[in-house]
């Protein structure tokens, strides 16, 4: 048996950050957006600009948890013929020195068949996050992800009760993705007022690092969230920058990094 | 990976489940508890029966169809959901769910609609109860069913055009789920079919099972025997589950669901998820689904907006796999013939959805014994479709 699994890569990154007293910057990018070639460039650019973890989204035809910006990016990616197979090819080609988390709806992963998670590991993924597979809904399929050698990153919502948070902590790996507010992905001007108390509830339920996503679009937001959480996740704002240029995405990443490190 | 069979109340065999964003899990738990309590609450059941009788107009009629019967060589009976208030079976479910929403203290209702029948049925009960109503409808369907859009607005509902994806029922459902995720604390989502995450498929079936309970009593009363078969159209499958529920324990009664074959099963333009789909996850449940090899949902097609959906209720998937029900498919063209046929033979203009079931039945001469009762569920009336059929210029009238 190998000593180092992919999930350890993610844990090691968070341990390192914790040791340095720094917050994690997690960047989301839709695979294949704006096209497969530039998608590879984007992953490399945000890694170089200071992202600690990169979530690479598998395009899906019916992204029910996503707002307009990510919906549009998946539509464009699908037009380029990017599904799970192509997503893994993009991750493999990008070969970045930071952990990559495969971010997907369940159906494309099921369609990938029994070997899909092994292929994801081989492509260089360290973790997997499944938007529509909450804790306890399908133990057999959850076990498939949990035992894949990838860190199985779970989501927590503001509506999640304390007992369920503990359950999620027990069955999750890598970090916990805390959804900052009710709703779908997307940018917003202000942060949810109850965020701090939700982080505190979650802190009491799990020892996993807590990263906060949904609606974090500016360096100022990142700095604010960085004061209470272990990391911030930026998705829609990054996709909006990426639709301008790879340089714009890199600049946003650097600005977020600076804001987080100054926090 | 191999298909697993988690055995719990969320499932029908391997199908169903709750594949939704985490945010919705507590709301689904709360809905399930509220529903379980309401089921055994005499006050709730009394209020529901009262509304079904005096607002919806139940029990719905059970009409002999002698000329259609003569054509196919059987005793055909029509279960007349078209005679319900708002013209379709959809209101059986919206009345039940609106009562439940009121019980849960939710003042805002979200719904999706394809043909507009579910949207109208939701807007209707929301008007009656003084609830805020927001209906998501695909832009293409809004054009196909302009009259129903006007009816919903007349009833005080907000109709939101959905411009993403295929601009039909699938995308309207996705958009309704997004609204619910955002407004889950004060809103209840009245899903219109036996689809979605648990407990919806079971709850909607239960509210629609009044069709089957009435039909079973009526066929016994009128003919003294159980029918040889029960036939219903299947999109998401709520009218079919409703009538099947009354007969599923009668092993000798054939259950036949008729899907939309669109431009033909070989054309790639159809909505026959049970006939040609493979198991997959969409809108919160695992069921047969039209999808490609990479798990992307394949756009459905049907002349009927109400059947134009790439998925199907999970209980139908279970009934198919277990062999308890049989699923067939008829094309757009055949459905149009069914539309005319029932109009001319029986004086009943069916919805284009129902017309699929009519069309299949019309082709079954020789399949039955002459004295055997066969029950056809007339899920809705065709008034909403008359303009569309006229534009297709099928009939030189």
At B345-364, the pLDDT tens digits run 999 999 999 999 999 999 99
Whether A114 contacts chain B with CB within 8 A? yes
pLDDT band, residue B395 (cuts 50/70/90): low
pLDDT(A5) > 80 = no
Angle between helices B90-103 and B42-51 in degrees, nearest 10: 140
Strands (E), chain A: 24-30, 53-57, 100-104, 125-130, 151-156, 176-179, 210-213, 231-234
B18 and A71 in contact by Cβ < 8 A? Answer: no
Task: Map residue B240 onto helix, strand or coil.
Answer: helix
For this structure, is A66 an active site residue? yes
Mean pLDDT check: name the lowest of A181-185, A199-203, B191-195, B356-360: A181-185
pLDDT(B366) > 70 = yes
B281 vs A75, A132, A164: nearest CB: A132
Dihedral sign (CA B291, B296, B299, B300): positive
pLDDT of residue B7: 44
pLDDT of residue B381: 96
B22 and A113 in contact by Cβ < 8 A? Answer: no
pLDDT band, residue B9 (cuts 50/70/90): confident
pLDDT of residue B5: 41
pLDDT band, residue B8 (cuts 50/70/90): low
Q: How far is CA B250 from the centre of its chain?
A: 22
- Residue ranges of A 80-109 with Cβ closer than 8 A to chain B: 83-85, 105-109
pLDDT of residue B239: 98
Please compute, for residue B96, the number of CA atoms within 13 A of its CA located in the half-sphere on the CB side. Answer: 26
Q: What are the angstrom distances between the C-alpha of B242 and each of B56, B204, B219, B230?
A: 16, 8, 16, 11
The residue of chain B nearest to residue A144, with distances taken between CA atoms, is: B1
Q: State the average pLDDT over residues B71-81.
A: 98
Look up tokens 């009960």; give the residue: B125
Q: State the average pLDDT over residues B34-41.
A: 96
The ipTM estimated for the assembled molecules is 0.95
Whether A204 contacts chain B with CB within 8 A? no
Whole-number percent of chain B with pLDDT over 70: 97
pLDDT of residue B393: 65
A184 and B181 in contact by Cβ < 8 A? Answer: yes
Distance from CA of A133 to the nearest CA of B (A): 5
Q: What are the angstrom distances between the C-alpha of B323 and each of A111, B240, B243, B245, B251?
A: 25, 16, 17, 15, 11
pLDDT band, residue A181 (cuts 50/70/90): confident
- Residue ranges of A 169-188 with Cβ closer than 8 A to chain B: 179, 182-184
pLDDT of residue A1: 38
Whether A198 contacts chain B with CB within 8 A? no
For the entire predicted model, the pTM comes to 0.95
Whether A197 contacts chain B with CB within 8 A? no
pLDDT(A34) > 90 = yes
pLDDT(A194) > 90 = no
pLDDT in tens, B189-217: 999 999 999 999 999 999 999 999 999 99
pLDDT of residue B4: 43
- As a whole number, the mean pLDDT across chain B is 95
Whole-number percent of chain A with pLDDT over 90: 90
Q: CA gyration radius for chain B?
A: 19
A157 vs B17, B22, B282: nearest CB: B22
Helix or strand (DSSP H, E) at B172: helix B169-182
Maximum C-alpha span of chain A: 48
A179 and B18 in contact by Cβ < 8 A? Answer: no
Task: Map residue A24 onto helix, strand or coil.
Answer: strand
pLDDT in tens, A69-127: 999 999 999 999 999 999 999 999 999 999 999 999 999 999 999 999 999 999 999 99
pLDDT of residue A192: 78
The residue of chain B nearest to residue A111, with distances taken between CA atoms, is: B295
Task: Centre a 10 Å sphere on the Cβ of residue A93 and count the other Cβ atoms it contains.
Answer: 15
| DSSP states of A223-248 | HHHHTTSSEEEE-HHHHHHHHH-HHH
The residue of chain B nearest to residue A138, with distances taken between CA atoms, is: B6
pLDDT of residue B397: 55
pLDDT band, residue B10 (cuts 50/70/90): confident
Query: Catalytic residues of B, which ones?
Result: 90, 112, 379
pLDDT band, residue A3 (cuts 50/70/90): very low
The residue of chain B nearest to residue A181, with distances taken between CA atoms, is: B182
pLDDT(B3) > 50 = no
Q: Which residues contact A134 (CB under 8 A, 6 or more apart)?
A: A154, A155, B18, B20, B21, B22, B25
Q: What are the angstrom distances between the C-alpha of B50 and each of A21, B34, B55, B99, B238?
A: 65, 20, 8, 12, 22
- As a whole number, the mean pLDDT across chain A is 94
Q: Which residues contact A78 (CB under 8 A, 6 or more apart)?
A: A32, A59, A61, B296
A137 vs B19, B23, B295: nearest CB: B19
pLDDT of residue B165: 82
The residue of chain A nearest to residue B174, with distances taken between CA atoms, is: A64
pLDDT in tens, B250-276: 999 999 999 999 999 999 999 999 999
pLDDT of residue B1: 38
Q: What are the angstrom distances between the C-alpha of A103 and each of A14, A59, A94?
A: 18, 9, 16
The residue of chain B nearest to residue A155, with distances taken between CA atoms, is: B22
Q: Which two tokens stand for residue B76?
A: 């055909």
B296 vs A78, A106, A141: nearest CB: A78
pLDDT(B394) > 70 = no
Whether A71 contacts chain B with CB within 8 A? yes
DSSP secondary-structure letter at A215? Answer: B
pLDDT band, residue B6 (cuts 50/70/90): very low
Interface of B with A (CB under 8 A): 1-2, 4, 6, 10, 17-27, 164-165, 170-171, 174, 177-178, 181-185, 280-284, 289, 291, 293-297
Whether A143 contacts chain B with CB within 8 A? no
A179 vs B1, B22, B282: nearest CB: B22
Task: Map residue A121 onto helix, strand or coil.
Answer: helix
């Amino acid at each position: 048996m190998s000593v180092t699994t992919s999930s350890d890569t993610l844990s090691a990154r968070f341990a390192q950050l914790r040791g340095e007293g720094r917050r994690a910057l997690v960047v989301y990018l839709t695979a294949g957006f704006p096209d497969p070639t530039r998608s590879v460039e984007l992953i490399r650019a945000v890694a170089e600009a200071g992202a600690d973890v990169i979530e690479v989204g598998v395009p899906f035809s019916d992204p029910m948890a996503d707002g307009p910006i990510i919906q549009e990016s998946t539509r464009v990616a699908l037009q380029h013929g990017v599904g799970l197979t192509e997503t893994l090819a993009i991750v493999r080609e990008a070969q970045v020195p930071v952990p990559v988390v495969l971010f997907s709806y369940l159906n494309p992963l099921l369609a990938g068949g029994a070997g899909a998670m092994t292929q994801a590991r081989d492509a260089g993924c360290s973790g997997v996050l499944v938007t529509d597979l909450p804790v306890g809904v399908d133990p057999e399929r959850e076990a498939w992800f949990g035992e894949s050698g990838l860190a199985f990153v779970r989501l927590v919502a503001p509506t999640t009760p304390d007992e369920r948070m503990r359950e999620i902590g027990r069955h999750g790996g890598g970090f916990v993705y805390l959804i900052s507010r009710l709703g779908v992905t997307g940018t917003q001007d202000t942060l949810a007022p109850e965020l701090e108390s939700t982080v505190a509830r979650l802190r009491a339920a799990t020892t996993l690092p807590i990263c906060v996503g949904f609606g974090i679009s500016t360096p100022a937001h990142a700095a604010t969230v960085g004061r209470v959480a272990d990391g911030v996740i930026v998705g829609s704002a990054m996709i909006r920058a990426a639709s301008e240029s790879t340089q714009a995405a890199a600049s946003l990443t650097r600005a977020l990094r600076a804001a987080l490190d100054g926090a | 990976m191999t298909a697993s069979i988690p055995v719990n109340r969320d499932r029908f065999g391997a199908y169903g489940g709750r594949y939704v964003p985490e945010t919705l899990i507590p709301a689904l738990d709360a809905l399930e508890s509220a529903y379980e309590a309401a089921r055994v609450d005499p006050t709730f059941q009394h209020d529901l029966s009262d509304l079904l009788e005096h607002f919806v107009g139940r029990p719905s009629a059970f009409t002999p169809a002698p000329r259609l019967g003569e054509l196919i060589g059987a005793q055909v009976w029509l279960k007349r959901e078209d005679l319900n208030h708002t013209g379709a079976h959809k209101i059986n479910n919206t009345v039940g769910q609106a009562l439940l929403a009121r019980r849960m203290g939710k003042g805002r209702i979200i719904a999706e609609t394809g043909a507009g029948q579910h949207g109208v049925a939701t807007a209707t009960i929301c008007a009656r109860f003084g609830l805020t109503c927001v209906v998501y409808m695909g832009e293409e369907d809004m054009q196909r069913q302009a009259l129903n859009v006007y009816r919903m607005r007349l009833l005080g509902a907000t109709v939101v055009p959905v411009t993403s994806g295929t601009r039909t029922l699938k995308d309207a459902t996705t958009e309704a789920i997004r609204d619910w995720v955002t407004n889950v604390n004060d809103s209840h989502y009245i899903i219109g079919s036996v689809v979605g995450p648990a407990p919806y498929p079971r709850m909607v079936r239960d509210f629609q099972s009044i069709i089957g309970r009435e039909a079973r009593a009526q066929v016994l009363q009128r003919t003294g025997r159980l029918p040889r078969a029960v036939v219903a159209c299947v999109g998401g499958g709520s009218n079919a589950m409703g009538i099947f529920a009354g007969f599923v324990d009668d092993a000798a009664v054939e259950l036949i669901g008729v899907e939309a074959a669109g431009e033909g099963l070989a054309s790639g333009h159809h909505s026959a998820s049970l006939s040609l789909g493979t198991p997959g996850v969409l809108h919160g449940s695992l069921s047969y689904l039209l999808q490609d090899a990479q798990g992307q949902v394949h756009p459905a097609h049907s002349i009927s907006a109400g059947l134009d959906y790439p998925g199907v209720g999970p209980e139908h998937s279970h009934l198919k796999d277990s062999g308890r029900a049989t699923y067939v498919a008829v094309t757009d063209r055949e459905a149009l013939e069914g539309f005319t046929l029932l109009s001319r033979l029986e004086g009943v203009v069916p919805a284009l959805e129902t017309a699929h079931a009519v069309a299949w039945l019309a082709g079954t001469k020789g399949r039955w014994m002459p004295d055997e009762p066969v029950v056809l569920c007339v899920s809705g009336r065709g008034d909403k479709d008359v303009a569309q059929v006229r534009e297709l210029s099928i009939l030189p009238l």
